């Protein structure tokens, strides 16, 4: 599960300037009528990401990181927040709470090989089941296609019906292969 580990991803020698994805922003209306912004992650979101992790349940963290992780090393935090929008694209979900913006979830992909990236999502529990996972999937797929990627892969715990349903309903023709206690999902972007 590369996306949970500190990894440089694909090296970007001769790296092009940040893509248009670094300016991405969209407003989504949730099933219960609340509105959230899905936007490109900014370097200054690091504290907001840490706060979101502290609000997520142990079960949600286990489903995302395959272990209950609330504390990350400096190197890991840097990896999660220093996004070049080429080898790694990250979107955050921002909700207005108590009169101010708060990060309540995120979705990202990390390019593993040319044309192929690993995708993962996490939302704090009270924002799950509102259509945000599907919206993140749709936006990341559009960004990835524009960047010329052909395939997303993901590793999911077999009991994670919500994530598997998001993939199933994505229209990206998912295929699954179960190995030990992990479901390996492949999604076609083209
Ligand atoms: C997995 C996750 C990202 C899904 O996002 P979400 O916003 O909750 O999912 P959505 O509301 O977009 O649901 C998409 C579809 O999945 C289905 N679904 C959602 N949760 C479900 C559940 N618990 N059981 C069965 N189906 C479910 C819905 O029916 C929905 O389809 P519909 O729009 O036709 O009704 C989110 O639940 C989450 O962050 N979970 C914890 C972390 C995690 O598991 N990360 C994945 C690591 S790879």
Instruction: Please compute the mean of the pLDDT values over residues 106-127 and round it to a whole number.
Output: 97
2 lines ligand 1 (CB under 6 A): no
Overall number of domains in the chain: 1
- In-domain check, residue 37: yes
Q: Is the pLDDT of residue 142 over 90?
A: yes
CB of 156 sitting under 6 A from ligand 1? yes
Percentage of the chain exceeding pLDDT 90:
79
26 in a structural domain:
yes
69 sits in the region (left: phi over 0; alpha: psi -120 to 50; else beta) called beta
Residue 13: per-residue pLDDT: 39
Residue to mutate, 162, 169, 181, ligand 1, most ligand atoms under 8 Å from C-beta: 162
Q: Which residue reads 């990181």 in tokens?
A: 65
Going from the C-alpha of 125 to that of each of 11, 15, 34, 60, the distances in angstroms are 34, 37, 15, 7
Residue pair 15/141 in contact (Cβ under 8 Å)? The answer is: no
Binding site membership of 9 for ligand 1 (Cβ less than 6 Å): no
Its pTM stands at 0.91
What is each CA distance from 156 to 66, 148, 184, in whole angstroms? 9, 24, 7
* CATH assignment at residue 41: 3.40.630.30
| Host domain of residue 53 | 21-150
Is there a domain that residue 183 lies in? Answer: no
């Amino acid at each position: 599960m590369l996306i949970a580990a500190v990894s440089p991803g694909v090296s970007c020698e001769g790296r092009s300037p940040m893509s248009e994805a670094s300016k991405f922003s969209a407003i989504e209306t949730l099933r219960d009528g609340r509105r959230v912004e899905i936007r490109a992650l900014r370097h200054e979101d690091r504290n907001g990401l840490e706060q979101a992790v502290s609000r997520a349940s142990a079960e949600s963290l286990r489903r995302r990181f395959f272990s209950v992780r609330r504390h990350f090393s400096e190197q890991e935090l840097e990896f999660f927040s220093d996004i070049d929008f080429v080898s790694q694209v990250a979107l955050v979900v921002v909700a207005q709470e108590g009169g101010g913006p708060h990060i309540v979830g995120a979705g990202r992909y990390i390019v593993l090989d040319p044309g192929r990236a690993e995708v993962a999502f996490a939302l704090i529990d009270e924002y799950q089941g509102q259509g945000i996972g599907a919206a993140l999937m749709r936006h990341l797929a559009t960004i990835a296609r524009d960047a010329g990627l052909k395939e997303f892969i993901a590793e999911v715990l077999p009991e994670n019906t919500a994530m598997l349903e998001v993939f199933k309903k994505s229209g990206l023709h998912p295929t699954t292969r179960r190995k030990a206690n992990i479901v390996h999902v492949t999604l076609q972007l083209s």
